Amino acid sequence: MAAEPPPTLQWREASSQVPPALVLLDQTLLPVEEVLRNCTDVETVAEAIESLRVRGAPAIGVAAAYGVALGAWHARGTGAGATTVSAAVARLGRTRPTAVNLFWALDCMQQALDAATGSSDDELYATLVAAAQRIDADDRRLCRLLGEHGAALLPDDATVLTHCNAGSLATAGWGTALGVIYAAVEQGKKVRVFADETRPLLQGARLTAWELQRRGIDVTVICDVAAASVLRDHRIDCVITGADRIAANGDVANKIGTYGVALMARAHDIPFYVAAPTSTVDLELASGDLIPIEERAAHEITEGFGRRTVPTGVNVYNPAFDVTPHHLVSAIITEHGVARMPYDSVLQTWGKAIPAIATGASR
């Protein structure tokens, strides 16, 4: 296997020379440049999430957790540690609305804050760093478990189509949808991947293709509009995507265009799998109709990479996600195993098993 990509995110401890930092691989510059950004305060972490320097539901959650810890670092000596950290939780919670992992991670950090009532500033900071590190480590562990469960669904010689990026760039570990592929390859299976380009920001072309190539996996990028022809003509064994939020009934929010791919997969009788940790399951939402869908700036479409492609003054609709109804989902792959319809009862069981790992429990 080729050289693995650099870490998507990593924590840098404070020293006498430098403050603590969340070090991020800036995904807005890939695949041309590999630049690491040092986020040293809450606002730089929030900006990184909003601008997609870090993206992918699990990675956003981990990044936000470290952002809360940075808030505690800067609150030392102010006499307002708990208030400042709560403000950090609120600020990071306003960054992106759809990925539920963000809010799960922030809830874990708030619980760690509440449990540390009465601690000194240094103790509070240490407690929150440890909580964030547990969330980080938990994501890495879950990615591997999820990947191993999903790999069993792939034949020994498999061709997979995927949409957007749900690999190591979207998590702290080796990914969700791509984690299934990495696990299958580790088991000795041969896997080829067709990656939708994923307009308007081309996460499939820029990110999925980049990390698959870096890991030595056969990948072919296709235009989004070519997916139907590829599903018809190229003996695709399955479609695998990630998810940003899964409702209690199994409806799935993922990158815009996923719903169309699911419809095409059903039309060609090809399994459509969703891979995500149970922290992505939102039991409070009965169906996908209730999932908040982020709408992003028009310039991502009109001037996506520096050149205007839409006449000035034309209206633009730019939802970042869509919802795939559960009846189009062949299976949902999590760290607990593979769920098939009806999803309600199994997701209820798995979702309720998520503890507050930030206070020391483990899944």
Distance, CA of 51 to CA of 3 (rounded, Å): 27
The sheet with strand 21-25 has its strands ordered as: 9-12, 21-25, 36-39
* Residue recorded with tokens 């430098």: 18
User: Tokens representing 14?
Assistant: 């404070």
User: Tokens representing 255?
Assistant: 């990158």
Distance, CA of 234 to CA of 194 (rounded, Å): 10
Measuring CA to CA, how many Å separate 78 from each of 46, 74, 81, 120?
22, 8, 7, 11
Length of the chain: 363
Active-site annotation holds for 114: no
User: Tokens representing 7?
Assistant: 């870490």
Catalytic residue among 244, 251, 282, 322: 244
Q: What residue type is 240 in one-letter code?
A: I
Distance, CA of 60 to CA of 147 (rounded, Å): 20
User: Tokens representing 265?
Assistant: 């997969």
| Helix, strand, or coil (residue 18) | coil
Half-sphere exposure of 80 (CA within 13 A, CB side): 8
Q: Which helix (H) or strand (E) holds 194?
A: strand 190-196
| Helix, strand, or coil (residue 210) | helix
Catalytic residue IDs: 244
